[in-house]
Amino acid sequence: MQMLKRCLLLMLLLICTKSYSQADTRAVLFDYFQNQQYATAIDFLNNKLNADSLNTYLLNSLGYAQYMNEDVLAAWKTFEKTYTLDTNNSTATSYLAAITFTRHDYEKAMYYNTRLTILSPTNAIAYRRIAEVYIIRKLLDSAFAFYQKAYTLASTNTGIVTGYADALLDNGLYERADAILYTTLRKDSGNIPVMKLVVRSALEQKKYDSTVRFADYYMAHADLDVATPLRFAAAYYNLNRFNACYDICNLLLNAGVTTETVFYYAALAQARLKNYALSNSLLDSCLSKAISAKAETYWLLKSDNEERVKKYMPAIANLDTAYYLFKKPVVLYSIGRMYELNGNTQAAKKYYKRYLVLAKPETPEELQVYKYVKKRQAEDAPITKGTN
Strand, helix or coil for residue 248: helix
The CATH homologous superfamily for domain 206-290 is: Tetratricopeptide repeat domain (1.25.40.10)
Name the DSSP letter for residue 170.
H
Largest CA distance in the chain: 129
pLDDT at 22: 66
**For 88-94, which contacts have Cβ atoms below 8 Å and span 24 or more sequence positions?**
88/119, 89/56, 89/60, 90/116, 90/119, 90/120, 91/60, 92/56, 92/59, 92/60, 92/63, 93/119, 94/120, 94/123
**Same topology for domains 206-290 and 295-379, yes or no?**
yes
Query: Phi then psi for 260, rounded to 5 degrees?
Result: -55, -45
Sign of CA dihedral 144, 146, 150, 153: positive
Kindly report the pTM of this predicted structure: 0.71
pLDDT at 17: 36
Domain spans, the chain: 206-290, 295-379
Buried/exposed 221-256: b ≥16 CB within 10 Å, e otherwise: ebeeeeebbbbbbbbbbeeebbebbbbbbeebbeee
Nearest to 97 by CA among 52, 137, 53, 67: 67
Nearest to 84 by CA among 118, 112, 119: 112
Strand, helix or coil for residue 313: helix
The CATH class that applies to domain 295-379 reads mainly alpha
Angle at 285 between CA 279 and CA 286, to 5 degrees: 85
How far is it, in rounded angstroms, from Cα 371 to Cα 148?
A: 75
pLDDT means per 10 residues in the chain (388 residues)?
A: 41 37 80 92 92 92 93 95 95 95 95 96 97 95 96 96 96 96 95 97 97 95 91 97 97 92 94 92 84 79 88 90 86 91 89 88 85 78 54
pLDDT at 8: 33
pLDDT at 11: 39
Strand, helix or coil for residue 362: coil
Contact criterion met (CB below 8 Å) for 208 and 239: yes
Query: What angle do the packed helices 90-102 and 124-136 form, to 10 degrees?
Result: 30
Nearest to 65 by CA among 85, 40, 84, 87: 40
Contact criterion met (CB below 8 Å) for 177 and 201: yes
Residue type, 183: T
Name the DSSP letter for residue 291.
S
Contact criterion met (CB below 8 Å) for 63 and 79: yes
The set of residues, in sequence order, having a beta carbon less than 8 Å from that of 86 and lying 6+ positions away, is 56, 92
